[in-house]
Amino acid sequence: MMVILAAAMMMGCSKKIDFHEEVLLSDGTKIKINRFDHLRRACESFSCDWALDFSEIQIEGARYVSWKKRLIPLLLDKYRDRYFLITTISSCRDKEFGNPKPAYIQFELTESGWIKSEFNPIFYGRTANLLIAPDWDAGEVRMIDVPTKESRNKMAGVPKFLKTLSPVTINNC
């Protein structure tokens, strides 16, 4: 009996949610990205749910250099002709990024690909322009436009510091 229960719990241990997002940059330009959330089953006792294993983003029309990390992408923008991606941790036990203060990790797209850089405070006050909470259970529609994303990002239950970048963040660890 225990073998059957263990096998049933292990079935479907991972899945990938892939979709496209329309992203509104601060200069008014709209771009499209390909987004992939790689998920794994996280179980405690007899309860299982999906947990983020890692996210992946590709900017359509740009060099297809993927950004892949175990982080939650929040904001993608261009500043001084370079793409920047602002993210936050997905787990308080993150071995690579820990529990940063403030809660944001910044990357920039260089000739060598995406590199981690020091968080620039110019991004404070900016509203997330990436989908904060994709539907991991049902999956996502193929293309998420800006109005749909803005509406979904405003939903209750999403912490304020994820919606609007702020130097004051709640330690949810």
**In the chain, helix, strand, coil percent, each to 5?**
15, 45, 45
| Beta-sheet pairing, 67-69 with 30-44 | unpaired
Query: Is it the case that residue 164 has pLDDT exceeding 70?
Result: yes
Which pLDDT score, from 0 to 100, does residue 14 have? Answer: 85
pLDDT (0 to 100) of residue 8: 43
**pLDDT tens digits, residue range 33-91?**
999 999 888 787 777 888 888 899 999 877 667 899 989 999 999 998 899 999 998 87
pLDDT of residue 160: 85
- Domain residue extents for the chain: 12-163
- How many residues are there in the chain? 173
Match 């239950």 to its residue by tokens.
Answer: 157
- What is d(CA 5, CA 132) in angstroms, rounded to the nearest whole number? 33
Which helix (H) or strand (E) element contains residue 43? strand 30-44
- Per-residue pLDDT for 101 more than 70? yes
What are the pLDDT digits (tens) for 133-162?
Answer: 888 888 888 899 999 999 999 886 788 888
Given a cut of 80, whether residue 116 has pLDDT beyond it is: yes
38 closest CA partner among 78, 90, 3, 85: 90
Q: Would you say 67 and 86 are in contact if contact means Cβ atoms under 8 Å apart?
A: no
